[in-house]
């Protein structure tokens, strides 16, 4: 007997406790990962990530991402570093004059063989054409060790423009 994915999803969804169905039942980002950073390499990865973005440094970003990384941003899925660099982050960073995090409040921990970083963040950017944008949002970074160093295998950004 073959179970269709939609049917299986409905069964799994129905088996969740009723509190899991409610949109407002998720914990705030600062409580989603309750432990502090427990690994200096994971803290270093977070600092490298933020620093590379602020320096608009594609090479440094590439160095901390797995080649097969899956990235969700702006409602799009990017699979693989090369596709992300060519079709998303590369053109974005080349269009910027500056990028600066104005807030980065993270929680991070090691879960089995994975590292998880969850952050509330805000940033300000200035484009080369002089336009400015301030945004706020959340980011999730999932990493694994690659030859002893943490590498990002998945990231998900969700942002919105700051209210005027």
User: pLDDT tens digits for 110-134?
Assistant: 988 999 999 999 999 999 999 999 9
pLDDT in tens, 55-80: 999 999 999 999 999 999 988 899 99
Whether 149 shows a pLDDT value over 50: the answer reads yes
Whether 91 shows a pLDDT value over 60: the answer reads yes
Q: What is the mean pLDDT of residues 29-48?
A: 71
pLDDT at 36: 52
Whether 28 shows a pLDDT value over 60: the answer reads no
Give percent above pLDDT 70 in the chain.
Answer: 76
pLDDT at 40: 85
More confident call, 161 vs 95: 95
Q: What is the mean pLDDT of residues 90-106?
A: 96
Whether 90 shows a pLDDT value over 60: the answer reads yes
pLDDT in tens, 47-56: 999 999 999 9
The CATH number given to 25-161 is: 3.10.450.50
pLDDT at 147: 87
pTM beyond cutoff 0.85: no
Mean pLDDT of the chain: 82
CA atoms within 13 A on the CB side of 65: 27
């Amino acid at each position: 007997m073959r179970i269709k994915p939609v049917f299986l999803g409905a069964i799994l969804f129905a088996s969740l406790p009723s509190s899991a169905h409610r949109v407002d039942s998720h914990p705030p980002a600062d409580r989603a990962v309750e432990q502090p950073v427990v690994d200096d390499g994971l803290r270093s990865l977070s600092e490298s990530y933020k620093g590379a973005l602020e320096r608009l440094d594609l090479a440094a970003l590439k160095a901390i991402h797995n080649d097969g990384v899956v990235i969700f941003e702006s409602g799009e899925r990017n699979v693989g570093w090369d596709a992300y660099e060519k079709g998303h982050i590369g053109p974005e960073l080349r269009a910027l004059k500056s990028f600066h995090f104005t807030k980065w409040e993270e929680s991070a921990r090691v879960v089995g063989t994975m590292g998880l970083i969850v952050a509330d963040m805000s940033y300000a950017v200035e484009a080369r054409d002089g336009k400015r944008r301030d945004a706020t949002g959340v980011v999730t970074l999932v990493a694994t060790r690659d030859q002893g160093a943490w590498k990002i295998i998945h990231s998900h950004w969700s942002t919105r423009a700051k209210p005027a």
